[in-house]
Amino acid sequence: MKIAGLPCYNHTSSYRYSEEKDLDNRLKPESKKSIIRCAHEVLLRDGFDEFSIRKVATECGCGVSSIYRHFSSKDELLLYAAARNINSYLKELSRTWKKGENSLYNYFSVEQSFAKYTFAEPLLFYNMYFGPVSHLLDRIFEESKELFPDVYSSMTEDLLGLLSVSGGIAARNLAMLERCCQDGFLRISAPNLILLNEGLIRMYRGFLDEAILLQRRGENTDELKQMYLAAHRLMHQSFLSADVSLPPL
């Protein structure tokens, strides 16, 4: 589809310079939003491995240089497209959070939803959390809330606050663990809590690696997902308060 205001540079160099100069003065959020939508379409259609800036430009009906006026690299644009691709997960997360009985219930319910989506698309989530530009994810999430407010409008302030925690997946998981400790569900020292969190993230990354290999061999990841969830619960078991039990899987 053609994005209004983003010209195709198929003319003389003087015309190209004039159009590019005009574009410098017309960089509007709506243009970036449209490119992200096109990138998301390319990601859905062609997959992670076949994603390219040129394909996005073709989908948008604009020149490659127009894409680079908004995004520094293919990896950055892919991260925006991936963030757009997890809208279903974010909506389910919002519903799960609203039904939460307490911080421990929320923590393990969120993990189940998280595993459901990440093991279905392990390469996508691996790139988001551990890829070459994963350090940009916090900023991209914040910008996505402004560009696509409909996805976040139904979320509680508590959940939005969690998603806004900077420091990536490790920092957000630690924030949920700290809440469980504050509410008396987990009994663990602060240094050991940090160590537990680091172990959980490293375990998750290892399971994602295995899920990627399985998918590339055309194999199902459901059994691996269940193994991950069981291991995840087991790592918390010895730190539960005496009168606390884990929510059912």
- What does the alpha-carbon distance between residue 57 and residue 63 come to, in Å, rounded to a whole number? 6
- What does the alpha-carbon distance between residue 51 and residue 211 come to, in Å, rounded to a whole number? 20
Structure token digits, residue 4: 């209004």
pLDDT of residue 150: 81
Which amino acid is located at 29 in the chain? P
Backbone angles phi, psi at 175, to 5 degrees: -60, -40
pLDDT of residue 210: 98
Which amino acid is located at 210 in the chain? E
Cβ 47 vs Cβ 26: under 8 Å: no
pLDDT of residue 196: 97
Q: Model-level pTM?
A: 0.80
Which amino acid is located at 136 in the chain? L
Separation in Å, CA 188 to CA 64, 102, 150, 249: 52, 18, 38, 23
For residue 213, what are the β-bridge partners?
A: none
Helix (H) or strand (E) holding 199: helix 190-216
CATH of 13-83, one of 3.40.50.1580, 1.10.357.10, 1.10.3720.10, 1.10.10.10: 1.10.357.10
Going residue by residue through the chain (249 aa), what tens digit of pLDDT does each one get?
A: 444 444 443 433 343 433 433 443 333 445 888 999 999 999 999 988 899 999 999 998 888 988 999 999 999 999 999 888 787 888 888 887 866 678 998 999 899 999 999 999 999 999 999 999 999 988 988 888 888 888 777 787 888 888 888 888 999 999 999 999 999 999 999 999 999 999 999 999 999 999 999 999 999 999 999 999 999 999 999 999 988 888 776
The SS3 assignment for 186 reads: strand
